[in-house]
Amino acid sequence: MARIKKTRFRHSALISAVTMAAPALAATAILSAQSAPSTQSASPALAAVTLTTTAQAAPTAAAPFAALAPATAGGEPLVLGAQTHFSQNWSGTANDLASQAKAPLLRDSLPWAAGETVKGRYNLDTPAARNLANACAAGRRLILTQIPTNPLYDGGLWVTSEEGRQAYAAYLDALRQKFGTCLVAIELGNEINGARAMAFPAGVDPTSAYVRIAATAHATLGGTPALLGGSTNMVGTGFLRPLFAAGLLDQVDGLAVHPYRNRGEALDLEMARLNAAMDEAGKRVPVWATEFGLATTDQTTAAGELIKQATLLSASGVAQASWYALIDQAGFPTMGLFTGTALKDQGRAFRFVQDSVLGKGRATRIDMGDPLLFAYRFGTDTTVIWGAPRGLMLGKGTRAYGPTGLALRSPVIGDEPIVLVGKAFTPGTSGVVADTLLGWGGTGWRYFVRDKAERDTALDWVDDSWTGYFGNRYSRPLRINNTSAAPAGTAAAPLRAVWRYTAPVAQMLDWRACFAKSASGDGVDLTLKQNGKVVWQGLLTSTLTVAPVKLVVAKGDTIDMIAGPNQTAGGDAFFYRATLSQRGRSQAVTCPN
C-alpha cells in the first residue's frame, strides 16, 4: 500500500507484478514461424504459422530457465484491473475514472480495525464501503486487501490467538456478505516480505503463524471469494518457499505477488521460477499480480511497459493483474493512469489493451528465429511485438498500433511494443547479436564472479526475497540483474561481476553501453576484455555512456564486461545496459533506470 511504496522503489534501484489453476505439467503452446528474411525488400507476407502443442515439465532449480511458466493457447484471458484507495478517502469520482479507463476490477481495502470497533459488530456503511458498493453496481469486481490486525485482539498485533484468528475470519465473512459475488478475492496482508510487515509478537514464528491465519480464514470462506496468500513486494520466490514448505498452498486459493520492475523483460522467467517453487512444494495455485506499475515521468515508457508486462503476465498464466494506481497521488505522483481527471498515456494504453488485445485470449510466444525478438500472439490475429531494433514490413490487411492505440504508418521494431492486427507481417533482421537486457538469463551471456586472483566462478540463479538475480551466497552483495548489478569487496579483496559473451562465429562487432548510479561510494571500475586483454576501461561515479568500441573476434573468442568495487566497499549498485552489434549497425544505448 501507499505508505511503503518508497521502500519498494529504493530496493528496486539497488537490485535492479478470475482464476484457473495451472497444472503441474502444462501443455505449452509454441507458435513457430519460418526465419525472417535477411532484407527489408522481401515480400511482406508472413510465412505460414503453425500451432503445435508439446508437454513440457515445469523448470527446476537446477535449470532455472529450461522452460517458461505455462502459456496455453486456451484458458481464460488475463483480467486487468487497477488499484484505488477509497479506504484512504478517495472521492467517489474515482469510479467515473475507472469507467473511462474500462477497468473491470478494482483493488482496495476496508481495514478490519475500522470495520469492527466493538467485538462482533461491523460497520460496513462507511464512505469507502459505499464507493466500493457503487463500483459493484457499475459492474466492476473487487479485490480487498485485509491485514489481520485489530486493537480488540492480541494487542493490535497480527493475530496469533484462536480468538483473534476466528475474529479475523468472521470479518472477512462479513465482507463477503456485504459484497456478494462482486468480491472475487481477499488478499491476506500486504507486501509481507517488507521489514516489520508481519507484526507478530516477539518469539512467534511468522511463517507458521501466517499459515495458521490463512487456514482459519480459508475454512471460513471455503474458496468464495478466493483467499490470496503471499502478497509479496516484487515476486519474492525466496521469501515464499518457507511458506510453501509450511503448508500455505493448501490453505489458499491463489498467490498474490507485486512484480514491480523498471523493464518487463525477464518477468516471464521470474514467474517460471515461482511456478517451479510451487511444483517442488507439491501444489500449484493461480498467481495474481495484484499490484504492478512503473514510477516514471516518461509516459511513453510507462505506456509501453504496461503493454509489455501485461503481455508477459498473460503468457505466464497469471490470473489477474492490477495496475498501481488509477490516479496519481502525492506520495506517488507519476504512477497513475490519470493525473487528476486527465488521462495519461499509460491510461490510454490500459484502455487500448482492454479493448483490443487481452480479451482475445492468452498470449502465446511466437518463435521468430531470434531470441532477441519478442512476439506474442493473442487469439488468431493480434500480436504484440518488440525487441532488438529492426524493420517491419506489413502485408495486406495487417495494421500496426503503438502502445496507446495510435495507428503507425511506418512501424519499426524496438524497445517500444507494437500491436499488430492481422497475420501478414515480416520482421527484418537486427544488427544486434547480444543485449544484456533482452538476452538476460537466456542465450548470449554467462555470468561469473571474479576474485583478486582472476579466478572465475559461475553464478547461479538466486531466488531472492525480492527479485531473483544471478549470484551466490559467498559473494554477496554481488549480484547481476537484468537492469542493475553490484560488485562486492574492496580493491584489496575485490569480487567483480562478469558478463561473458562467447562468439559463435568470427565477427566484426561494436560494443556500446550505458551505466548510471547514485553519487554514493567511490565509484565502480568498469573494464571490457577480449580473451583476457583490456580493450576499454572506465570509472562510473554518476552516468557513463560508451561510444562504440570496435572489436574483431574469431569464433570462440570471449568478451568480458567486468564491474568492480574500485577502492572501497559500499554504494556500488548501478543500472546498466550493453549491446554487441554488427560493425556499423549499432545504436545508442539508454540506461533503463
pLDDT, one tens digit per residue, over 404-436 is 999 999 999 999 999 999 999 999 999 999 999
Q: Is the pLDDT of residue 1 over 60?
A: no
Angstrom CA distances, 210 to 109, 203, 204, 290, stand at 19, 14, 10, 19
Q: Is the CB of residue 176 less than 8 Å from the CB of residue 183?
A: yes
Q: Is the pLDDT of residue 36 over 90?
A: no
**Secondary structure in 3-state letters for 525-567:** EEEEEECCEEEEEEEECCEEEEEEEEEEECCCCEEEEEEECCC
Q: At 382, list the grid cell.
A: 493480434
Mean predicted confidence (pLDDT) in 230-259: 98
Q: Is the CB of residue 449 less than 8 Å from the CB of residue 497?
A: yes
pTM: 0.89
pLDDT, one tens digit per residue, over 127-155 is 999 999 999 999 999 999 999 999 999 99
pLDDT, one tens digit per residue, over 461-502 is 999 999 999 999 999 999 999 999 999 999 999 999 999 999
Q: Which among 15, 16, 28 is positioned nearest to 59, based on CA atoms?
A: 28
DSSP per position, 330-363: SSSTT-SSEETTEEPHHHHHHHHHHHHTGGG--E
Position 593 confidence tier, pLDDT thresholds 50, 70, 90: confident
Residue whose entry in the numeric block shows the C-alpha cell 468464495: 224
Q: How far is CA 55 from the centre of its chain?
A: 25
Amino acid at 578: A
Alpha carbons 116 and 124: distance in angstroms, whole number: 9
pLDDT at 442: 84
Between β-strands 446-450 and 494-502, what pairing exists: parallel, antiparallel or unpaired? antiparallel
DSSP at 41: T
DSSP per position, 86-138: GGGT--TTHHHHHHHHT-SEEEE---HHHH-SBTTB----SHHHHHHHHHHHT
Q: Is the pLDDT of residue 230 over 90?
A: yes
Q: Is the CB of residue 515 less than 8 Å from the CB of residue 544?
A: yes
Q: Is the pLDDT of residue 558 over 50?
A: yes
pLDDT, one tens digit per residue, over 74-123 is 579 999 999 999 999 999 999 999 999 999 999 999 999 999 999 999 99
pLDDT at 33: 37
DSSP at 207: H
pLDDT, one tens digit per residue, over 256-287 is 999 999 999 999 999 999 999 999 999 999 99
User: H or E segment at 470?
Assistant: strand 469-471
> Phi and psi (nearest 5°) for 130?
-70, -40
Between β-strands 50-57 and 373-378, what pairing exists: parallel, antiparallel or unpaired? unpaired
pLDDT, one tens digit per residue, over 163-176 is 999 999 999 999 99
pLDDT at 537: 98
Mean pLDDT for all residues in the chain: 89
pLDDT at 38: 31
